[in-house]
Amino acid sequence: MSEEVKDECKDPARHHLHLCELRKQGLKEEVAALMVDPGHTCHNCNGVAKNALDLCNPSPFAKI
């Protein structure tokens, strides 16, 4: 039985544009812009973003 790798990026071609990578680069304004009105969370870094494309391992969440 194989274990799922938690830190796997679902879209490696766009990884350089993902929230976690922008944070590592210190791009605070770009990160803040992606996080406005979030609707998805990343299972790897627990970051939130409006669009799933901006996260490595996204999942939508319900807004209350």
pLDDT at 3 over 60: no
pLDDT digits (tens, 9 = 90+) for 18-63: 999 999 999 999 999 999 999 999 999 999 999 999 999 999 998 7
pTM above 0.85, yes or no: no
Structural domain total, the chain: 1
Residue 48 lies in a domain: yes
- Does 43 reside within a domain? yes
Q: Which of 36, 47, 5, 29 is nearest to 58 (CA)?
A: 47
**pLDDT score of 1:** 41
Q: Could you tell me the residue range of the domain that residue 47 belongs to?
A: 12-60
In a domain, 1, yes or no: no
Listed in sequence order, the DSSP H helices in 1-64 are: 19-24, 28-34
The reply to whether 5 falls in a domain is no
Is 9 a residue whose pLDDT tops 90?
A: yes
Any domain includes 2: no
Q: What pLDDT is stored for residue 63 in this prediction?
A: 74
Let me know if 54 is exposed, middle or buried by CB neighbors in 10 A (0-12, 13-18, 19+): buried
